[in-house]
Structure 1
Amino acid sequence: MSDDYANRSYGEIPVGFGKKPGIVVVDFQLGFTDPQYPLGGAPLVMRALENTERLLKVARRYNVPVAVCNTAYLNEREMPYWKITAVRETFRHDHPSAALDPRIHDPAYDLTVCKKGPSIFFNTGVSDYFTKERVDTVIVTGCNTSGCIRATSIDSFSYRYRTIVPEDCVGDIEEQPHKDNLRDLGRRYVDVSDLATVLAQLEDWHRQNAD
Structure 2
Amino acid sequence: MRGKVGIVVVDYQLAFTEPRYPLGGAPLVMRGLENTARFLKVARAHNVPIATCFTAYKTERDMPHWKVAAVRDQFRLDHPSSALDPQIYDKDYDVVVCKFGPSIFFQTPVVPYFIKEGVETVIITGCNTSGCIRASTIDSFQWGFRTIVPEDCVGDIEEGPHRVNLHDVGRRYADVSNADNMIAYFKQSTTLKFQSARAHVGQVERGVQALKLFTVIQNVVVASLSLKAEQFKQQSHGALGARLR
Look up the equivalent residue of 2:55 and give its one-letter code.
Answer: T
Provide the rounded CA distance (Å) in 2 between the counterparts of 1:29 and 1:150: 17
Q: Matched residues in 2 for 1:89 and 1:23: separation?
A: 30
Match of 1:204 in 2: 188
SS at match of 2:25: coil
2:114 maps to 1:151? no
* Cα distance in structure 2, aligned partners of 1:205 and 1:127: 24
Aligned twin of 2:66? 82
Partners of 1:175 and 1:23 lie apart in 2 by 24
Matched, 1:187 2:171: yes
Does 2:150 correspond to 1:166?
A: yes
Aligned AA (1:164): I
Q: 1:200, CA displacement in angstroms?
A: 1.1
Structure 1 runs of 4+ with >6 Å offset: none
Rounded to whole Å, the distance in 2 between the matches of 1:206 and 1:158 is: 29
The structure with higher relative contact order (CA 8 Å, sep 6+) is 1
Question: Hey, what does 2:119 align to over in structure 1?
Answer: 135
Amino acid at match of 1:191: D
Larger Rg: 2
Superposed, 1:36-185 pairs within 5 Å as 36-185=20-169
- Identity %, equivalent residues: 64
Distance 2:29 2:78 in 1: 23
Residue 31 of structure 1 is matched in structure 2 by 15
1:32-77 alpha-carbon deviations (Å, 9 max, x no partner): 0000000000000000000000000000011000000000000000
Alpha-carbon distance, 1:83 to partner: 0.3
Alpha-carbon distance in 1 for matches of 2:109, 2:161: 29
**Counterpart amino acid of residue 186 in structure 2:** L
Q: Which amino acid aligns with 2:34?
A: E
Query: Which amino acid is the alignment partner of residue 187 of structure 1?
Result: R
SS in 2 for 1:122: coil
* C-alpha separation in 1, matches of 2:110 and 2:76: 21
Residue 207 (structure 2) aligns with: none
Deviations 1:176-205 (A, max 9, x none): 100000000000110000111111111122
Mapped partners of 1:69, 1:138: distance in 2:
15
Computed over aligned residues only, the root mean square deviation of the Cα atoms, in angstroms, reads 0.9
Q: How many residues get paired?
A: 195
Counterparts of 1:148 and 1:208, CA distance in 2: 35
Structure (1/2) with the larger helix percentage: 2
Gaps of 5+ in 1: 1-16
Instruction: List gaps (5 residues or longer) in structure 2.
Output: 198-245
TM-score after normalising by structure 2: 0.78
DSSP-derived class of the 1:105 partner: coil
